[in-house]
Amino acid sequence: WVLMVTAQTPTNIAVIKYWGKRDETLILPVNDSISVTLDPEHLCTTTTVSVSPAFDQDRMWLNGKEISLSGGRFQSCLREIRSRATDVHDKEKGIKITKKDWEKLNVHIASYNNFPTAAGLASSAAGFACLVFALAKLMNANEDHSQLSAIARRGSGSACRSLYGGFVKWIMGKDEKGTDSLAVQLADEKHWDELVIVIAVVSSQQKETSSTTGMRDTVETSLLLQHRAKEVVPKRILKMEEAIKNHDFASFAQLACTDSNQFHAVCLDTCPPIFYMNDTSHRIISLVEKWNRAAGTPQVAYTFDAGPNAVLIARNRETAALLVQKLLFCFPPKSDADLNSFVLGDKSI
């Protein structure tokens, strides 16, 4: 027999960034962060997990290609869910698995991203969140979403925020073991549904410095990070929570843009400096800044993760349509292939 479960999880985009760990093994951050989860039909991961007495080892395939499960992060997630497994009884199939059986049974995992992995868009967030959620369903681990988020955190920090839709806060927590470092939902997906997220793919190349290595170097060398984590982010988190609660786009945009810029300033303050944005990213920032100033009140917010691609949040659908027009006019894709994969060119503006 084979028993399987399929789950789908969208990725999330941080508007107050997580950058820096106080514990690398447990993946505990130096500050709280806030994100917005995308709609599942756009950037998401679909994962099927299956179990059978015929499987002789745990195995995983990503986009159809087998990948190694030896990494500590996969193992932590698997171990944590296995230790919470309970009895499963599938009457239709006549399958009974006891808590004890789960220790001996192996799983097969098949995971697909519905967006090009090469585009350098956060895939680990959706990936680990989906893996943990699907395993928990398969093994009947009756944990709530926040408890599962703490397990997904062990796979990739930002993954803990993808267990919920809408606006999500990852509370850094105080406990050394990380039991209180988990995600909570601030507002559900219906709360502020006028917002439209446009992702401008500036480069389809893989990033040079991974988030994990980048943030390790930052923690070791940047004084600015300490100031950010202790003095800046705690106040910004409170303001961002207020802005979200009140649908206050002006404050939301100002906080998101400033936080993205400070995250990249912290990267520059790292030794050796990390450059995630490129000229096109900088030109997109100028375009948005000029537009917002000319309009008298923010129309669009921008935020950049560990790469040059711009995540643009428009206040409503009309603004989003105008934004896409402006982007395609200012950055016409260089080739048909680029146009098909929505990669922008870099004509000056």
Residue 156 in the binding site for ligand DP6 (CB under 6 A): yes
Is residue 311 within 8 Å of residue 318, measured between CB atoms?
A: no
SS3 readout for 221-268: HCHHHHHHHHHHHHHHHHHHHHHHHCCCHHHHHHHHHHHHHHHHHHHH
Which of 7, 9, 11, 17 binds ligand DP6 (CB under 6 A)? It is 17
**Least distance from ligand DP6 to the Cβ atom of residue 19, Å:** 6
Comparison of 76 and 124: residue with beta carbon closer to ligand DP6: 124
Closest CB to ligand DP6 among 156 and 222?
A: 156
Place of tokens 């929570």: 241
Smaller CB separation from ligand DP6, 1 or 275:
275
* DSSP track, 68-136: ---SHHHHHHHHHHHTT---EEETTTTEEE-TTGGGT-EEEEEEEESS-GGG----HHHHHHHHHHHHH
Which CB, 36 or 330, lies closer to ligand DP6? 36
Q: Which is nearer to ligand DP6, 157 or 166 (CB)?
A: 157
Site string for ligand DP6, 212-231 (x = CB under 6 A): x-------------------
Residue facing ligand DP6 at closest CB distance: 157
Give the nearest distance from C-beta 133 to ligand DP6 in angstroms: 17
Is 37 or 47 the residue whose CB approaches ligand DP6 more closely? 37
**Region 58-77 residues binding ligand DP6, contact defined as CB under 6 A:** none
Give the shortest CB-175-to-ligand DP6 separation in angstroms.
18
Backbone angles phi, psi at 221, to 5 degrees: -125, -15
**Single-letter amino acid, residue 175:** D
Give the closest residue to 82 by CA, choosing from 153, 123, 12, 138.
Answer: 138
Check binding of 123 to ligand DP6 (CB under 6 A): no
User: Is residue 173 within 8 Å of residue 28, measured between CB atoms?
Assistant: yes
Binding of residue 236 to ligand DP6 (CB under 6 A): no
In terms of Cα–Cα distance, which of 151, 115, 136 is closest to 38? 115
**Short-list 214, 198, 238, CA closest to 31:** 238
Size of the site for ligand DP6 (CB under 6 A): 15
- Tell me which residues touch ligand DP6 (CB under 6 A): 14, 17-19, 27, 33, 122, 124, 156-158, 211-212, 305-306
